[in-house]
Structure 1
Amino acid sequence: MGFPELLSAGLLFLLLFIAGFVGLKLKVPNVVFYILAGVIVASFITDTHLLHFAGEVGIVLLFFMLGMEFPIKQLLNVAKKVMSAGVLDVVLCFGVTVAICLLMGLDMIPSLIIGGVAYATSSSITAKMLESSKRMANPESEFMLGLLIFEDLVAPILVAILVGLTAGTAITYSSMSLLLIKVLALIVGALILGRFLFSKLGPVFDRYMNHEIFLLFVIGLALAYGGLALYLDLSEVLGTTITFSEGIPMVPLLITLIVWSIIAKLIVGYFGGQWYGLSKKVALRAGLSLTQRGEFSIIIATLATGMIQAFSSIFILISAMIGILLFQFAPTISKKLMKQQNKRKVVLD
């Protein structure tokens, strides 16, 4: 006799509470311990219907909250300032990663999924680390947050495209065009809602902001809009279960991509930061602080199945752990490397 769904849900939330509490005490972003909790419970889960639905709700609310963090004007202004670095980020972290996967024998769709997993830096981990390490006032923080905003704009579109490509239909110009039209229509619809509905009803929202019915309205609107995406076939395979039951697959590729993912973010931070106006040392510090992957990578990993999903899950976990360590030691490492470079210049002169 299996556990009732209500009991399973309660135990799962208690486990997440314990994981979050441990993260709080250790001053490590909660998402890392949530991933570890997912690894632990994955092998005990037999009925994933409830977890699948919870995953869909969680992903929709995640995207909604990311959109609520910044006004659209601020999003566009900051994205313009980091455009060059953002394009370099897409080319190196997504494009080159896809090329590496293809060269090592993977098919196109799995390569695109892994490229998507390796693309975006974790917004939640990075923002939490900036705050906890008291680096929010540092000169590199604006560049880093700007790049994260750029990725937060690109990643949902990338997710939608990858979902369409993994839906089992043939990839044609017409299907790609239709998919892009659907994505653009949803974006335009969201902008119209924000520009006209919310601006016109501002006084009403201010009056009921602290009332529970406003929370119901916000969650209902977010889920309804996410459901519209499902209705348009822009998202069909969402969930949050991570499993390593098949062991560690494709170890050579895993090691290669972990090393490359760190190098790629270092390049983006170092050169992109200098294009933004940062000094070499500060730009290097930014690059060392951008290597961790997180929430968007998890979302994209759920589009895969079997070996590719296990591979992606391990990649996310390792990159998150290494990224946190590099973030912590970024000031020390960048300072030492710049000192060595300056000494070499003096010797050469």
Structure 2
Amino acid sequence: MHVDLVGLGLAVLVAGLVARLARRVGLPSVPCYMLVGILLGPGTPGPSVISHPEDLGLLAALGLVLLLFHLGVEFPLEQVLGGGRRLFLAAGCYIGLNVGAGFLFGLALGWGGAEALVVAGALGVSSSAIVTKLLVELHRLTNAETPVILGIIVIEDLFLAFYLALLSPVLSDAESPLALVGEVAVSFGFLALLFAVARFGARAVARLVGDREDELLIVLTVGLAVLVAGVSEEVGVSDAIGALMIGLVISRTRLKERLERLVLPLRDVLATVFFVAFGLSIEVGEMGAVVVPVLVAVLVTLLGNVTAGIVAARLFGFNQRGAANIGLTVLGRGEFSLILATLALGAGLDARIGPFVALYVLVLAVVSPVLAARSHLLARVMPDRLLRANWTYVREETISTSCTHLDRIRVTGTDTAVCEECVRLGTHWVQLRLCVTCGHVACCDDSPHRHARAHAEAAGHPVIQSAQPGEDWRFCFVDDTLVRAPMGSPRR
């Protein structure tokens, strides 16, 4: 037992140190935990700190339960429902493109139908933790496309519950099509029951686990989460579903904020054990056989994400930079991909799934932050015909919702088709800009005299609008960025 504790303590300590170093260079922590497990495990040449990864099975299972439970507690259901039809269309397009492409890719690998479903989920759903981390580190919280990105990952989390309910019977290897239908019905029936509890029984659950003392509250809540996860597994549904759904129940109670705070440290420690344990189970020698499939999978994911980003930009009227930001920010894969691989290996599916998903997540962990930080390069080559408006002049510019000068908008259209100052001087102009405060029309910054900027400085009118046919974007000279009101606000 002493050796087991030493091995576990060393693995978790090294995982934390490596993650700390990775964060200094902008890389997420989840793949670091997995990488440490691979390097310190029996599947790698050299000394192994934990020779029998299966000994960590119960701790890893608790990490998975708390990971999904906390995800359910954080789930902002009202935000999703208030996002409107366009948000659901954007998220549906993203999920459909990526999961569909992943399923076809899984079939092309020839590993089997159940394996293709696992590959579809692993390739199809992004990492909420990685996405939110990128938004903070890249200072994009006030970008116009950020609410769309957050809406997509939230709806992905909801999709996760349904996907696990569908996948669990498949992984159980039903004896006949009728038996499979029956198990799917049981899974969705159990899911519906938990949704009903979330809708109508949240108060009863709050009375059951609620207590003024934090100690008793966390003990009762974790006990309930583990119990529901266990019951889920007993009825043939993934324990992950039960944990996620009981978290969703808690999210609808007055205990939500306290439990978010109390569960977080426990979740982080045990989830680290889960990721390390996953890495410990990987045979490094098997990774060579999946290098080519992983590289193809990364390209498939990149293509699917960029396509979904363009669709979302069309729906919400963003430019090329917004489309690129959406597609590349949600590129990272992490927790859910590893959870699916763990379930697949536990069900006895093709052993290549483990190293395939591990290497896939590692590659995207490095690639996604690099590409997201350089999204302007993709925006530069993205043609206008893919979007609803003509953004050629400002395709690489960020659209911000933080401008404090939008209350100065008074004029939104004009019939003037010349720069009068340029006409008087007998010079030419490149494009025209409309002052949205007074209606003055003047030439752009690429014109010889930059009359629009001169007017803005002289009159103190900071916001202009393109006066070119087919364009209606607005730019603030003070904030030096494209601007628009936050999503849901009426456009003037």
Q: TM-score range by the shorter chain?
A: 0.7 to 0.9
* Distance across 1 between alignment mates of 2:11 and 2:192: 34
| More divergent stretch after superposition (94-103 vs 185-194) | 185-194
Residue in structure 2 matched with residue 342 of structure 1 by the alignment? 392
Which is further off, 93-102 or 114-123? 93-102
- CA distance in 2: counterparts of 1:140 and 1:189, whole angstroms: 33
Q: Which moved more, 1:24-33 or 1:120-129?
A: 24-33
Q: Per the alignment, do residues 158 and 171 of structure 1 end up closer, same or farther by CA in structure 2, a change over 3 Å counting?
A: farther
CA change 1:316–1:203 in 2 (3 A) is closer
**8 Å Cα contact 2:309-2:323 kept in structure 1:** yes
Query: Is residue 216 of structure 1 aligned with residue 196 of structure 2?
Result: no
State which of 306, 325, 328 in structure 1 corresponds to 2:351: 306
**1:317 is matched with which residue?**
362
- Which has the larger Rg? 2
Which of 275, 291, 316 does residue 315 from structure 2 map onto?
275
1:289 aligned to which of 322, 329, 334 = 329
Q: What's the TM-score once normalised by structure 2's chain length?
A: 0.63
Letter in 2 for 1:216: V
Consecutive unaligned residues of structure 2, counting only runs of 5 or more, are 43-47, 241-273, 385-390, 396-429, 431-468, 470-492
Residue among 216, 237, 259 paired with 1:234: 237
Q: Number of paired residues? A: 343
1:155 corresponds to 2:160: yes
TM-score, normalising length from structure 1?
Answer: 0.86
Which residue does the alignment assign to 1:30?
29
- Confirm whether residue 248 of structure 1 aligns to residue 288 of structure 2: yes
1:338 Cα offset (Å): 5.4
- 1:143–1:40 distance in 2 versus 1, CA, 3 Å: same
Deviations 1:266-289 (A, max 9, x none): 111111232144334312221121
Structure 1 residue 174: Cα displacement: 4.2
Asked whether the equivalents of residues 32 and 317 of structure 1 are also in contact (C-alpha less than 8 Å), the reply is: yes
**C-alpha contact 2:101 2:304 (8 A) present in aligned 1:** no
**Per-residue CA shift, 1:193-248, capped at 9, x if unaligned?**
5643347847994x62x621111122122211111111112237998423123232
State the Cα distance separating 1:70 from its structure 2 match.
3.0
- The DSSP-based 3-state class of the residue aligned with 1:278 is coil
Match in the other structure for 2:18: 19
Q: Give per-residue Cα distances to partners, 1:121-163, cap 9 Å, x unaligned.
A: 1100001111122211111111011110111111232233323
Map of 1:1-349 to 2, 5 A cutoff?
A: 4-43=3-42, 44=48, 45-78=50-83, 80-170=85-175, 172-193=177-198, 195-198=200-203, 201=206, 205=210, 208=212, 211-235=214-238, 240-242=277-279, 243=282, 244-302=284-342, 303-304=344-345, 305-330=350-375, 332-337=376-381, 342=392
- Tell me, in whole angstroms, the C-alpha distance in 2 between the residues paired with 1:310 and 1:124: 22
Q: Choose between structure 1 and 2 for higher RCO, CA contacts under 8 A separated by at least 6 residues.
A: 1
- Say whether the 8 Å CA contact 1:79–1:147 is kept in structure 2: no
Structure-2 separation of matches of 1:27 and 1:130: 12
Aligned equivalents of 1:10, 1:52: Cα separation in 2 = 16
Letter in 1 for 2:278: T
Change (3 A) 1:179 1:46: farther
Residue aligned with 2:289, SS: coil
Structure 2 distance, partners of 1:215, 1:337, is: 52
Cα distance change, pair 213–50 in 1 and its aligned pair in 2 (3 A): farther
2:183–2:236 Cα contact (<8 Å) kept: no
RMSD, aligned α-carbons: 3.2
Asked whether the equivalents of residues 100 and 120 of structure 2 are also in contact (C-alpha less than 8 Å), the reply is yes
Q: Give the gaps of 5 or more residues in structure 1.
A: none
